[in-house]
Homo-oligomer: A and B are copies of this chain.
Amino acid sequence: MEKQLYYEDVAEESRITRLVKQPTTTQLVMWAGASGDYNAIHYDKDYALKRGLPGVIVHGQLAGAFLGQMLTDWAGDKGNLKKLSLSYKGMNFPGEILICKGKIVKKYFEDNQYLITLKIWVENPRSEKTLTGMAVINLPSKNDI
């Protein structure tokens, strides 16, 4: 059981706990099977090169899933991910580090819920943002304990 994060613990403008991933070609093959996305740019190097890519690339939705994992890890068992929107900006490559980051934009009480709006993004090793998005999380409040 991890320590639960509460609404009162977080401040606007602060960063949340980052998540570092290093997807492998094996994980991409597993993701192809799990998601049903069998586009060959994700596993066939010759095909990817012919399509003008520098090599096989990570499925954008897998990088998005990593952002989801960062958010739910951070929010804890009693936090809820209410909304997640993503914009694909660039490529991630298997074998490279992929860093998931998030920043709290706003905290507010609405419809009887304690809500957090965050900017989230993925950075590649060249500090380029390859995936950006917004999320809304509902955290428990110490007022309700």
Identify the A interface with B (CB < 8 A): 25-26, 29-30, 32-34, 38, 40, 43-47
Q: A47 CA to B25 CA in the complex, in Å?
A: 10
In the complex, 22 of the A-B residue pairs with CB atoms within 8 angstroms, ordered by the A residue number, are: A25-B40, A25-B43, A25-B44, A25-B47, A26-B38, A26-B40, A26-B44, A29-B29, A29-B32, A29-B33, A29-B38, A29-B43, A30-B33, A30-B38, A32-B33, A33-B33, A33-B34, A43-B43, A43-B44, A44-B45, A45-B45, A45-B46
Q: A30 CA to B33 CA in the complex, in Å?
A: 6
Copies of this chain present in the complex amount to: 2
- Within the complex, the shortest CB–CB distance from A6 to chain B, in Å, comes to 41
A29: B residues at CB distance < 8 A? 29, 32-33, 38, 43
Per CB-CB distance, the 7 closest pairs between chain A and chain B, nearest first, are A33-B33, A25-B44, A45-B45, A43-B43, A26-B38, A29-B29, A29-B32
